[in-house]
Amino acid sequence: MPPIPNAETHVGSPRSRVDGRAKVTGGARYSAEFTAPDLAHGYVVNSTVAKGRITGIDTAAALAAPGVLAVFTHENRPRTAWFSYKYQDEVAPPGTPFRPLYDDKVVYSGQPVALVVAESFDAARHGASLVRVSYQAEAHETDLTSRMGEAYEPPKKRSGISPPPKPRGDAPGAYADSPVKVSGGYWAAYEHHNPMEPHATTVVWEGGGKLLVHDKNQGVLNAQSYVSSVFGLGKDDVRVVTPFVGGGFGSGLRPQYQLFLAVMAALELRRSVRVVLTRDQMFTHVYRPNTFQTVKLGANPDGTLRSIQHHSVTGTSQFEDYQEVVVNWTGTLYHCDNVELTQKLAKLDTYTPGDMRAPGAPTGLFAAESAMDELAYATGVDPIELRLKNYTEHDENEGKQFSSKELRACYEVGAERFGWSERNPEPRSMREGRELIGWGMASGAWEAQMMKTSARAVLTADGKLEVACATADIGTGTYTILTQIGADAFGLRMEDVTTRLGDTTLPYSPVEGGSWTAASAGTAVQLACEAVREKLFKHAQKASGSPLAGAKLDAVSFAGGRIEVTADPDRFVTIADAMRAGGVDRLEAEETANPSKIDQLRYTGYTHSAIFVEVRVDEELGVVRVTRVVDAVAAGKILNPKTARSQVVGGIVWGIGMALEEETLPDHNLGRFMNHNLAEYHVPVAADVQGIEVIFVDEHDTKVSPIGVKGLGEIGIVGTAAAIANAIYHATGKRIRDMPITIDKVLG
Amino acid sequence: MPDNPARAATGGPAPARLGPATSPQTVAIELTINGRPRRLAVAPWTTLLDLLREELDLTGTKKGCDHGQCGSCTVLLDGQRINACLVLAVMKDGSAVTTVEGLSGPDGALHPMQEAFIEHDAFQCGYCTPGQICSAVALVEEGRARAPDEIRELMSGNICRCGAYPNIVAAIQQVLASNGGAGR
Ligand code: FES
Ligand code: FES
């Protein structure tokens, strides 16, 4: 059903975050900050070998330490689900999920092997330092390069992840015949999400076997079903409430081990327990895998693509086949008749990697869009011209139309704003003092999805509205956009609307991820509000001598606490009078938004971007600074330009980190990450981020979601690393195919 | 469910409550926290950060690393910005601490920096925000930063993983401008 028109006062306009006050005053509580009487504290002990068996755990000293209540290990772990599938969650890839403290096997370095629970955080930490674990280590392999030969195509596909399409035409043959060829191998390092809030769970023991769980995650319902499945608890006995999430970026999609440990301890000790991971323990669970790719492009001298071959090998754990979309992007972005795309995995003795902001896309586009830049140089065609020459109005991977695609406008508007026409393509042609200046660009794409989601709207006679959905606001602005949608549905002020999220007692939502939340929860809220409006309108017409008698719903507007005839606003009924006429003091509706099956069969939805970057490279020191970024984004309807811009800026900052700084370095002898802290794992700081300009290109799309929204969480990062690499080439004449592009590589 | 298999299997002592939380020898100190003098008994190893968060329920000050590497725990100690995770509470007997909870007025009126952060959308998840705001308030007091480059440099001890930096800089610039660009 198409949305009933009502004036858009808030939707589409810049609005400050409704949770702003809570966040700037310290009032917003995150999962480690809920408290309970008699709260006990858990501290995790992690394995120091990558593979082998635990031969003994000496807990005597820990148990004798003041304040220590219990030490949990695989030897005394309370009974949990026997079958590994019981540990599966909503986003688990194929395989058998990791089960904390399950047995004596060590399957990765940093695996939790014990939990010390004590009366205070200090005491638990002290106790943990006293636990002695002995191992029989076995030979491990954590180096992707040495497993390349055993790479395999995952036999079982991960649900929700499109596998590479079947080959089209004859890519190797067409490549051999192409007059212009470029090819290269690309490397992307391990990265860790490092949200500022470390993973934490506070389990409040409510008595009678009931648990109130505050857990850092991106989906309270996913956490709840995991807990109930693993511990055999009824869903009514486990309520998960997470109103604020201090950054997720994918790290909170799957339940992390602190949730298991905190719940286990609370059930055993029959009291409230909190487990908070340290920053270095944040390097002992999910991460972005490292990936090796090869790209071969064959083209005519005018730049027309004749052949695309893009292959990847990604590391995964021994126990799960994690999959993300790495290679499909080239086939989606460009027209080409001969395309071969494959993705393989290689098993390593590590934890299972997972979704990290735009999983697969910035990695794949780094290779694909670097190769396109190389092709631009090989053919002498301008990079934008080259992309326009190979532009496609079809998703040739899927054989479907795009629901909308304003990428052409992104190239145009972005180039104009950046001043691209001034660019001399010659590498090393711009310099200021010691610094070489380079300009590069790249395209970006990310799937625009919508997921089944429900929401509730409750309007009360005093003209206040509450909207509610179980989804999360991980900093994305969900509270704010849902408030805007609710306010506009009834012509209210935003202050009159309360949005509730992150609670398993609220209507259904999948995990918050994939950039689908605004489209999905936004539509659900819109539908619930429409249902309440219909009820309210019926009551308003019931009032004796109602000025709305005989009016049709689509001929009235909701504004200023009343329902008025749009063409004759003097004919109105107030919300309070309408409720009185209906003999109610509140109206409530819950609705479910479903993506249109027909549109999904016919169309694919993508957000697009064209990103332009200026870098300055110190020739003697090899230091790269990103001094200017212009990102033109086509993402359908923009609900709130203020928070939307912030989301894209954040994504670009991530792209800067990926291109230049972020790398978790494994020591393959030990099979563990070495730089597990924020001093040695570098993320961008204020000094690394200069002028960033985001432009939203107009894009009208009614197929991608009923409210025309495509989502913005990922589009900022996708093309950024490639554009930076291309700018570095322009500055220095060096094509660096190994991320992050650190000083040693620039000087090397 | 058996009573406590954890204890049974490890043969450790019964998990009876052991008197005061960790029963260390505590040290009596006095701190003025957000304008209110408080007498406190703290363990010698308790950081100012853990004191605030764990014992005083002032959870506005965040823990992001506990190693002085992220700035989430920034508070004002006698007016200076410091990382509360790097300070042992006992060392600061007699000091005055201002946390994010103490920046707004008693009537709830926000500090100009808090207002500016909201106006410029200088945060997303909000976890680094109290530290950023305390750091920014001190930066303005220090009177060292004027140009955006200086702000960026002098705010680089506060990581924002959400990447709100351009907006943080804009918020600080606004407050600096309304202050005539100098410390107060
Ligand atoms: S928690 Fe103190 S600097 Fe990170
Ligand atoms: S607002 Fe999320 S870390 Fe800064």
Residues 25-44 (B) with a CB less than 8 A from some CB of A: 43
* DSSP annotation of A392: -
For chain B, the domain total comes to: 2
Collect all residues of chain B within an 8 Å Cβ-Cβ radius of residue A267.
1
Query: The domain spanning residue B74 has which CATH number?
Result: 3.10.20.30
Res. A597 pLDDT band, cuts 50 70 90: confident
Taking an 8 Å cut-off on Cβ atoms, the answer to whether B128 and A198 are in contact is no
Shortest distance between the Cα of B115 and any Cα of chain A, in A, equals 8
Q: Is B134 in the pocket of ligand 1 (CB under 6 A)?
A: no
Q: Which stretch of A531-540, A687-696, B10-19 has the lowest confidence by average pLDDT? A: B10-19
Q: Is B73 in the pocket of ligand 1 (CB under 6 A)?
A: yes
Predicted pLDDT of residue A627: 98
Together in a domain, B51 and B85: yes
Strand partners, A298: A181, A307
Together in a domain, B132 and B170: yes
* Chain A contact present for B49, CB below 8 A: no
Together in a domain, B68 and B93: yes
Q: Is B136 in the pocket of ligand 1 (CB under 6 A)?
A: no
Read off the pLDDT of each residue in A690-713 and give the average, rounded to a whole number.
95
Q: Is the pLDDT of residue B20 over 60?
A: no
Predicted pLDDT of residue A8: 83
Together in a domain, B83 and B123: no
Q: Which of B102, B120, B152 is the C-terminal boundary of a domain?
A: B102
Predicted pLDDT of residue A2: 41
B84 part of a folded domain: yes
Res. A642 pLDDT band, cuts 50 70 90: very high
Predicted pLDDT of residue B17: 35
| Active site annotation includes A714 | yes
The rounded Å distance from CA B63 to ligand 1 centre is 6
In this structure, what are the phi and psi dihedrals at residue B118, rounded to the nearest 5 degrees?
Answer: -65, -45
Average pLDDT of every residue of chain A: 96
The rounded Å distance from CA A218 to ligand 2 centre is 16
Predicted pLDDT of residue B180: 66
Res. B24 pLDDT band, cuts 50 70 90: low
Taking an 8 Å cut-off on Cβ atoms, the answer to whether B163 and A684 are in contact is yes
Domain span at residue B172?
Answer: 112-178
In order of start, what are the domains of chain A with their CATH numbers? 40-139+199-276 (3.90.1170.50), 147-191+287-449+601-747 (3.30.365.10), 450-594 (3.30.365.10)
Shortest distance between the Cα of B162 and any Cα of chain A, in A, equals 5
Together in a domain, B130 and B98: no
Q: Is the pLDDT of residue B176 over 70?
A: yes
pLDDT per residue as tens digits for the range A94-118:
999 999 999 999 999 999 999 999 9
Q: Is the pLDDT of residue A622 over 90?
A: yes
B4 part of a folded domain: no
In percent, the amount of chain A with pLDDT more than 90 equals: 94
Predicted pLDDT of residue A713: 93
List the structure tokens of A95: 């395989």
Task: For an interface test with B, give the residue of A13, A18, A19, A23 to mutate (most B CBs within 10 A).
Answer: A23
In this structure, what are the phi and psi dihedrals at residue A307, rounded to the nearest 5 degrees?
Answer: -150, 135
d(CA A273, CA A271): 6
Q: Is the pLDDT of residue B184 over 70?
A: no
Predicted pLDDT of residue A207: 85
In percent, the amount of chain A with pLDDT more than 70 equals: 99
Together in a domain, B28 and B94: yes
Q: Which of B42, B70, B102 is the C-terminal boundary of a domain?
A: B102
Predicted pLDDT of residue A7: 75
Q: Is the pLDDT of residue B22 over 60?
A: no
Read off the pLDDT of each residue in A307-312 and give the average, rounded to a whole number.
98
Predicted pLDDT of residue B75: 98
pLDDT per residue as tens digits for the range A137-182:
999 999 999 999 999 999 999 999 999 999 999 999 999 999 999 9
Residue whose entry in the numeric block shows the structure tokens 């990062």: A717
HSE toward the beta carbon, residue A224, CA cutoff 13 A: 26
Together in a domain, B90 and B39: yes
Res. B14 pLDDT band, cuts 50 70 90: very low
Residues 135-174 (B) with a CB less than 8 A from some CB of A: 151-153, 155-169
Q: Provide the 10 A C-beta neighbour count for residue A159.
A: 11
- Three-state SS at B158: coil
B81 part of a folded domain: yes
B168 part of a folded domain: yes
Read off the pLDDT of each residue in A82-91 and give the average, rounded to a whole number.
91
Q: Which residues contact A282 (CB under 8 A, 6 or more apart)?
A: A192, A193, A194, A198, A199, A676
Facing B10 at nearest CB: one of A76, A198, A268: A76
Determine the residue type at B180. G
The rounded Å distance from CA A349 to ligand 2 centre is 32
Taking an 8 Å cut-off on Cβ atoms, the answer to whether B72 and A196 are in contact is yes
The rounded Å distance from CA B32 to ligand 1 centre is 21
The closest alpha carbon to A66, from B92, B105, B16, belongs to B16
Which contiguous run of DSSP H or E holds residue A692? strand A691-696
Predicted pLDDT of residue A186: 98
Residues 76-115 (B) with a CB less than 8 A from some CB of A: 99-101, 103-104, 110, 114
Tell how many helices (H) and how many strands (E) occur in chain B: 6, 5
Res. B157 pLDDT band, cuts 50 70 90: very high
B107 part of a folded domain: no
Q: Is B123 in the pocket of ligand 2 (CB under 6 A)?
A: yes
Q: Which atom of ligand 1 is nearest to the CA of A678?
A: 4
d(CA A619, CA A622): 5
pLDDT per residue as tens digits for the range A198-212:
999 999 999 888 999
Read off the pLDDT of each residue in A642-671 and give the average, rounded to a whole number.
98
Predicted pLDDT of residue A535: 96
Taking an 8 Å cut-off on Cβ atoms, the answer to whether B125 and A197 are in contact is yes
Together in a domain, B30 and B98: yes
Mutate-to-test residue for ligand 1 from B51, B67, B87, highest number of ligand atoms within 8 A of CB: B67
Q: What share of chain B is helix, strand, coil (3-state, %, to 5)?
A: 35, 15, 50
Res. B8 pLDDT band, cuts 50 70 90: very low
Collect all residues of chain A within an 8 Å Cβ-Cβ radius of residue B103.
25
d(CA A740, CA A517): 30
d(CA A291, CA A625): 25
Q: Which residues contact A37 (CB under 8 A, 6 or more apart)?
A: A272
Query: The domain spanning residue B133 has which CATH number?
Result: 1.10.150.120
pLDDT per residue as tens digits for the range A423-450:
999 999 999 999 999 999 999 999 999 9
Q: Which residues contact A698 (CB under 8 A, 6 or more apart)?
A: A406, A409
Taking an 8 Å cut-off on Cβ atoms, the answer to whether B117 and A20 are in contact is yes
Together in a domain, B82 and B58: yes
Together in a domain, B90 and B123: no
Q: Give me the sign of the Cα torsion angle A196, A204, A505, A101.
A: positive
Q: Which of B102, B127, B149 is the C-terminal boundary of a domain?
A: B102
Q: Is the pLDDT of residue B16 over 60?
A: no
d(CA B54, CA A599): 52
Together in a domain, B94 and B27: yes
B18 part of a folded domain: no
Read off the pLDDT of each residue in A224-229 and give the average, rounded to a whole number.
97
d(CA A212, CA A712): 32
Predicted pLDDT of residue B7: 36
Together in a domain, B68 and B127: no
The rounded Å distance from CA B140 to ligand 2 centre is 21
B57 part of a folded domain: yes
Predicted pLDDT of residue A4: 47
